[in-house]
Amino acid sequence: MGVATISYLNRYLDPAESLGEVLFGLIMVLTCTLGASLIVGIDRDALRTMLVAALGCNVAWGVIDAALYIMGNAFVRSRNRRIMQAVRSAPDAAAALDLVRQAMEPRMELQGREEDREELYRSLRNMVAHDNARPRIVTADDMRSAVAVFVLVVAAALPSVVPILLIGDPQLALRVANGVQVALLFVVGFYWSRSVGGDGWRAGLVAMLCGTLLVAVAVVLGG
């Protein structure tokens, strides 16, 4: 990916979202290539068909996942708007504060001192009470983020194309493609963990092992 593309992805998706999309894309295509490698005597035509199927699968899921991303954000905003309307319609300040507390406590996970959390809830109650804006359910940033989701899922399939196109032996091409995908599982986990200050090597190994395990389960179940 170019610098502009990476900058676009970093702007509209946080590292956790990017990790999930890339890992899912890698797992999708690895399921296809690993399943094909179990076929005895696969030839170039069958390999080409498998490659088209793998790319098509990731493109299709990229579209679906982008749509689900937009729907998920719309759901969250709709829920938040209902909470805000309920706070504004509360009969008194104490009831409004209780609504804010009920909405926020699960997210706060009882972090910090109780008096500090209460001060935050009062500030939120006052902010909601004096805010008459009607937030949009779907925004332009949602659409841009959905494009980023699509790009990540599809891009995850592209590295497996190179060995299949360059290596003449179908079985060897598949083995190399599988190896590339497994290595990328490690790379994605490594750099994601490093970006949030974690142990890159451990996260890379976990991502690689978990991804490979999920692919094995999918292959065994006929996915």
The answer to whether the CB of 48 falls within 8 A of the CB of 36 is: no
| pLDDT over 80 at 109, yes or no | no
The answer to whether the CB of 30 falls within 8 A of the CB of 211 is: yes
CA distance 83 to 170: 57
Going by the DSSP 8-state scheme, the letter that residue 146 receives in this structure is: H
Q: Residue 210: which pLDDT band, with cuts at 50, 70 and 90?
A: confident
Q: Residue 218: which pLDDT band, with cuts at 50, 70 and 90?
A: low
- pLDDT tens, position by position, 171-182: 788 888 888 888
| pLDDT over 90 at 208, yes or no | no
Residue, of 152 and 5, whose pLDDT is higher: 152
CA distance 29 to 31: 5
Tokens for 210, please give them.
């978990």
- pLDDT tens, position by position, 46-89: 778 878 888 888 899 899 999 999 999 999 888 888 888 888 88
Selection from 94, 177, 81, 95 nearest residue 134 by Cα:
81
| pLDDT over 70 at 92, yes or no | yes
| pTM score, whole prediction | 0.76
pLDDT of residue 209: 83
Is residue 142 helix, strand or coil? helix
pLDDT of residue 113: 81
Q: Across the chain, what does the average pLDDT equal?
A: 81
Residue, of 30 and 221, whose pLDDT is higher: 30
pLDDT of residue 72: 92
Q: Residue 5: which pLDDT band, with cuts at 50, 70 and 90?
A: low
The answer to whether the CB of 36 falls within 8 A of the CB of 50 is: yes
| pLDDT over 60 at 40, yes or no | no
CA distance 27 to 20: 10
Is residue 8 helix, strand or coil? helix
- pLDDT tens, position by position, 138-185: 888 899 999 999 998 998 888 888 888 888 787 788 888 888 888 888
| pLDDT over 70 at 133, yes or no | no
Phi, psi (degrees; rounded to nearest 5) at 52: -60, -40
CA distances from 207 to 26, 31, 98, 113, 211 (A): 11, 15, 41, 35, 6
Residue, of 177 and 108, whose pLDDT is higher: 177
